[in-house]
Amino acid sequence: MAINCPKCRAENPDALKFCGECGTRLVPPESPQASQPQTFDTSTLELSRGTILAGRYEVLDELDSGGMGKVYRVLDRKLGEEVALKLIRPEIATRKLEEAERELLAVEKIQIS
């Protein structure tokens, strides 16, 4: 089984802990840190009652909207509970994910040193 580097996307054997190309710490696929958030382009989509997101969240109501996006009251079908789900505008989400990735890489460099 191979692991793709999160930084340079090079394919590495699963026995390696660091990328053979760029030296970035590799995260095994079964690790929770390896999962990627699902993204939806909701910029032109109006979510109405009954809309299902990610095969899991059923929209019940829109609670609020603002500069970052919208908040919905949804039924989490997996948990069987009502929860709030915030959908962040794609351009903001991308920027925030890039910031979080830079912070994670900085922390990894500190831990390696």
Q: Note the pLDDT tens digit of each residue in 23-53.
A: 888 877 654 444 455 555 555 457 889 999 8
CATH number at residue 75: 3.30.200.20
Residues 65 and 96 in one domain: yes
What domain range includes position 15? 1-35
Indicate whether 107 and 59 sit together in one domain. Answer: yes
Based on the structure, what is the number of domains in the chain?
2
- Asked if residue 56 lies in contact with residue 77, where contact means CB atoms within 8 angstroms, the answer is yes
Residue 81 pLDDT class (50, 70, 90 cuts) = very high
Please give the model's pTM, rounded to 2 decimal places: 0.49
Provide the b/e sequence for 30-68 (b: ≥16 CB within 10 Å): eeeeeeeeeeeebeeeebeeeeebeeebebeeeeeeeee
Q: Are residues 84 and 51 in the same domain?
A: yes
Distance CA 19, CA 24 (A): 5
95 in the same domain as 53: yes
Cα three-residue angle 87-64-72, rounded to 5 degrees: 50
